[in-house]
């Protein structure tokens, strides 16, 4: 009888011990789960802080980049100022001359000659207004995120208009071949103008001591990309594969800042493009800006020229 009671006691004690251990395991699991949830919440909060800090840093970096691009743009305008001033002074002198002659024609009752002079004055003022508008547009502060789908050809032609005074003052002959007028690209037009002006200005400065100053701008395209080539007849580069060529503050000019190529490369990279450099058939250097063609236009783009 005693053996039966002992056996029953042992069974009950074992069952109670199992229940106790089960409760302990459940409690430990609950504590572990609660601790894990707390760690997850803590880590999530830290991640949110890190993300916020990264967003703020990226925003500050983007703002600094835009400020640097704007400063470089104003520096380009400074380099162009003498040529632009000359380009504006000539029409002003002509306007004054036509106006004075017009007064004489009116005094002599030569109305047709006076009207002809007035028409010339109107044409000259329109030309000056166009130059002023282009400069105002170029100098405008632009955001790297201000992208739009545009035709490439008008941007190239606008660039040439802006740099035309410099071409005249440097006595540089420009050949421009833009056969494909319908190429669409997603860009910031003002910033692409800035890149092309930087490259063309560098080319003109490289040809200062060259007997023949020949500058060429050509465009070729594939199904997925478009290349804008800027060639010059200068002395070329000592090393076309130099990794320092696009580094900030690297320059071969006596008074150069060494920011033009670096900023140009940065702008083109923001457009998912690249800048390549190689030897030109004209004897100098070739800088090629490669940009992706707009997807909406890819099916209709023609093969390379």
Final residue before a domain boundary, out of 141, 166, 198: 141
154 and 303, same domain (yes or no): yes
134 and 160, same domain (yes or no): no
Mean pLDDT estimate for the chain: 78
Q: Using one digit for the tens of pLDDT, what is the confidence trace for 6-22?
A: 777 677 777 777 777 78
* Phi, psi (deg, nearest 5) at residue 171: 55, 50
The whole-angstrom separation of Cα 230 and Cα 204 is 11
181 and 111, same domain (yes or no): no
- Per-residue pLDDT band at 294 (split at 50, 70, 90): confident
Q: What is the CATH number of the domain that holds 206?
A: 3.30.565.10
Q: Using one digit for the tens of pLDDT, what is the confidence trace for 165-203?
A: 788 888 899 998 877 778 899 988 888 888 898 899 889
Residues 270 and 142 sit within 8 Å (Cβ to Cβ): no
- State residue 78's pLDDT score: 64
pLDDT at 103 over 90: no
Domain encompassing residue 8 = 1-141
- State residue 29's pLDDT score: 83
- State residue 13's pLDDT score: 73
198 and 122, same domain (yes or no): no
Q: Using one digit for the tens of pLDDT, what is the confidence trace for 148-165?
A: 888 898 889 888 887 887
| E runs forming strands in 86-222 | 148-151, 173-177, 184-187, 214-221
157 contacts: CB under 8 Å, gap ≥ 6? 178
- Per-residue pLDDT band at 97 (split at 50, 70, 90): confident
Q: Using one digit for the tens of pLDDT, what is the confidence trace for 247-275?
A: 655 555 555 555 677 788 888 888 889 99
177 and 130, same domain (yes or no): no
């Amino acid at each position: 009888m005693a053996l039966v009671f002992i056996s029953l006691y042992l069974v009950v004690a074992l069952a109670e011990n199992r229940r106790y251990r089960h409760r302990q395991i459940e409690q430990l699991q609950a504590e572990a789960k609660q601790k894990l949830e707390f760690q997850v919440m803590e880590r999530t909060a830290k991640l949110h802080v890190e993300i916020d800090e990264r967003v703020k840093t990226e925003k500050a970096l983007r703002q600094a980049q835009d400020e640097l691009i704007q400063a470089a743009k104003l520096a380009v305008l400074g380099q162009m100022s003498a040529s632009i001033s000359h380009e504006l002074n000539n029409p002003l002198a002509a306007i004054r001359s036509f106006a004075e002659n017009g007064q004489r024609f009116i005094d002599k009752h030569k109305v047709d000659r006076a009207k002809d002079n007035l028409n010339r004055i109107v044409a000259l003022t329109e030309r000056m207004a166009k130059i002023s508008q282009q400069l105002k547009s170029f100098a405008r502060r632009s955001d790297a995120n201000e992208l739009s789908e545009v035709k490439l050809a008008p941007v190239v032609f606008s660039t040439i208009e802006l740099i035309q005074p410099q071409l005249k003052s440097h006595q540089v002959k420009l050949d421009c071949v833009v056969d494909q007028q319908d190429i669409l690209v997603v860009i910031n037009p003002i910033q692409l103008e800035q890149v092309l002006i930087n490259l063309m200005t560098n080319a003109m400065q490289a040809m200062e001591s060259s007997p023949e100053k020949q500058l060429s701008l050509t465009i070729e395209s594939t199904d997925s990309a478009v290349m804008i080539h800027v060639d010059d007849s200068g002395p070329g580069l000592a090393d076309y594969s130099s990794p320092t060529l696009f580094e900030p503050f690297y320059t071969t000019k006596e008074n150069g800042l060494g920011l033009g190529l670096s900023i140009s490369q940065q702008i083109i990279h923001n457009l998912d493009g690249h800048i390549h450099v190689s030897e030109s058939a004209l004897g100098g250097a070739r800088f090629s800006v490669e940009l992706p063609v707009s997807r909406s236009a890819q099916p209709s783009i023609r093969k390379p020229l």
